[in-house]
Every structure is written in structure tokens, then in C-alpha cells.
Amino acid sequence: QLSPNFYASSCPNLQTIVRNAMSRAVNRETRIGASILRLFFHDCFVNGCDGSILLDDTATFTGEKNAVPNRNSARGFEVIDTIKTNVEAACRATVSCADILALAARDGVALLGGPTWQVPLGRRDARTASQSAANNQIPSPFANLATLTSSFAAKGLSTRDLTALSGGHTIGLARCTTFRGRIYNDTNIDANFAATRRANCPASGGDNNLAPLDIQTPTRFDNDYFRNLVARRGLLHSDQELFNGGSQDALVRTYSNNPATFSADFAAAMVRMGNISPLTGTQGEIRRNCRVVN
Ligand code: HEM
Ligand SMILES: [Ca+2]
Ligand SMILES: [Ca+2]
């Protein structure tokens, strides 16, 4: 029951406000488009797209920011704060943080050269968060294809959605700790690529050293992620699971040869991910500050 026109009369300039702020943020740091896209994924996979990931921990409230997949990793919260401030100035107490995140993720992708799509709107913000759900329901970079498939199925997403959405790894960076096992132990990896990555990710130490998820075009939203997988240059173990002799090999090849198919599937899958159990109507609230419940 979300609709792209949800704020058409209550906040007619919403999309322009979000787009302008994202444009400034991406110009300042291209990685921010990637970071915001990931925030949206990590929001939607934990009790739906309800802005839960945006809530700060306090003495009496345990949020999701310190869950294992997010701690020292999730970033871009200041940009969401800026957008929220601008949106509140134009349309007080009207637009949810969950919807702002959905629009910002779409705009980040488009600003880095990727597809665009209409974002269904009308989500409301959670008054709760779940660190344990974040730990248990956000997929691990060490997972195999069967586990990734079931993580996505648990959210109503298909294996085709899994593969298309994993194409989000065409932008952004990962810490050594998330891919060390792959570059030292996996055998389904290009030897030169593994050597290149080991140079800045030692067998011990350097846990926070960064490497691009897409070695070719880390700041461009294109289909190079899939070309890398075919060349056995996936950075995460979970990435290469999509092209390792299993059910997704053919689709990875299709995306690697046909950027338009990837773009269309990615956009459609982003809408489906954005539909994961939203709060609507009188559920939840319109948070005034994305970091705290009203
Ligand atoms: C399929 C299961 C997935 C796994 C196991 C996974 C895992 C990871 C890991 C481990 C990182 C690096 C985090 C760090 O080192 O701090 C990362 C980064 C990233 N992920 Fe995923 N991810 C998955 C799916 C997705 C999806 C569906 C999207 C979006 C559609 C996405 C978008 C991103 C982006 C853009 C980054 C880079 C963020 C930045 O540079 O700040 N990922 N992912
Ligand atoms: Ca959530
Ligand atoms: Ca790329």
C-alpha cells in the first residue's frame, strides 16, 4: 500500500530536497552513495524498512548500530541527518526517516551512474530496534549460496533478487576482516587478484584496511561486479558464491554481458526490498530526529 505519490500534496518538494542533499554529499565523497545504499539494505532486512538502523544507542536503549554487521562499518548517518533537517524545514513532522533513506539510496545509485526508479513511499518509523535481529538476519560475507538464498527467502526475496541486489557491490569498500579468509584460503579466486588484495590485507593485523568491492570501477554503478565474478575476482566469499558452479552462474553471466538487464532487475529488486514489512497508516511514528524516537 506504499505509493510514489504519498507526499505529493503534503511535501511536494521532498524528492528535490533529498536529491540536492545527496548530490552535495556524493560530490564531497563518492563513497557516500555506497554507504547509504548499504544502510537501506541493513534497515530493510531487520524488521522491515522502518528506519530502525538510524536509532542511536543510549544508556537505556540498545539499537542496531553496534550489531556485528554494522559496528565500525555502517556509515552515512550524518547525511541522513542533514536531509532530515532540510525536509523538516520544508514539511514539518510529515516525512518518515524510513522514506528518506529509501529515496537517498535510490539517488546515490543514480548519481554514481546507475539506474533510477520510482520509490513507493508512506513508510513510518519504528519506535524499536533489534540488535539481535540485525546480528541474525543480515547475511554474512562468509555465507554460502544456500545460506544467502535462505536469508533472502526469509524476507520474501527470490534468488534472482539476491543476485541482482548483490550487484550493489559494484560500488563501495570493504574491510580486510570481511575478506581475509577469501584471499588466503579460497581456491576459486584469480591468483593475481588474491595477491593484489593480500598486499594491503595481511594474514594478521590491518583488519580495518579497505579494498574496493569492485576492483574495476569502485565509484561507478555499472555491471563490472558481475564481470569480476566471471573472472573469479569477487572480493567477498559470499560474492563469489554467486558464480561458483551453482544455480546463479547463468544469471551472473547474463548480467556481465548485459548491463541493461542488470539495471532493470536491480531497480525492480530494490522496490521489492523496499516493500519488506513497512509500518503504515497509524503504525509507528514520523520521527522528528532520525536518531531518537519521539
Ligand atoms: C548478499 C548478501 C550480502 C553480504 C554478505 C554483504 C556483505 C557486505 C560486507 C561484508 C561489506 C563490507 C562491510 C565492511 O567491511 O565494513 C559490504 C559492503 C557493501 N554492501 Fe553488501 N552485502 C550483501 C548484500 C548487499 C546488498 C543487497 C546491497 C545493496 C543493494 C549491498 C550494498 C553494499 C554496499 C554499497 C557496500 C559498500 C559500503 C561502503 O562502502 O560504505 N550489499 N557488504
Ligand atoms: Ca529496519
Ligand atoms: Ca562498479
Question: Which residues are part of the catalytic machinery?
Answer: 42
Predicted pLDDT at 170: 99
Architecture in CATH for domain 14-138:
Orthogonal Bundle (1.10)
**Ligand 1 centre distance from Cα of residue 187 (Å):** 22
User: Is residue 165 within 8 Å of residue 38, measured between CB atoms?
Assistant: no
Site of grid cell 547509504: 36
Predicted pLDDT at 248: 98
Predicted pLDDT at 108: 98
Three-state DSSP class for 39? helix
> Any idea where the domains of the chain sit in the sequence?
14-138, 145-269
Q: Is ipTM > 0.90 here?
A: yes
Does ligand 1 come within 6 angstroms of the Cβ of 41? yes
Phi, psi dihedral angles at 144 (to 5 degrees): -95, 175
Site of grid cell 565509484: 219
pTM: 0.99
Site of grid cell 554503478: 221
**Ligand 3 centre distance from Cα of residue 43 (Å):** 23
Grid cell digits, residue 131: 540488535
Predicted pLDDT at 157: 98
Does ligand 1 come within 6 angstroms of the Cβ of 173? yes
Predicted pLDDT at 253: 98
**What are the DSSP calls for 94-126, one per residue?**
TS-HHHHHHHHHHHHHHHTT-------B--BB-
Site of grid cell 552513495: 33
Strand extents, DSSP E, the chain: 173-175, 210-212
Predicted pLDDT at 193: 98
Spelled out in words, what is the top-level CATH class assigned to the domain 145-269?
Answer: mainly alpha
Q: Alpha-carbon distance 245 to 58, whole Å?
A: 46
Task: Write out the H or E segment, with its range, that includes residue 9.
Answer: none
Q: What is the mean pLDDT of each run of 10 residues along the chain (294 residues)?
A: 97 98 98 98 98 97 97 98 98 98 99 98 98 98 98 98 99 98 98 98 98 98 98 98 98 98 98 98 98 98
Grid cell digits, residue 5: 505519490
Predicted pLDDT at 26: 98
Contacts of 175 (CB under 8 A, 6+ apart): 72, 73, 207, 208, 209, 210
By the 10 Å C-beta count (0-12 exposed, 13-18 middle, 19+ buried), 208 is classed as: exposed
152 Cα nearest atom in ligand 1: 1
Predicted pLDDT at 78: 98
Q: Alpha-carbon distance 224 to 230, whole Å?
A: 10
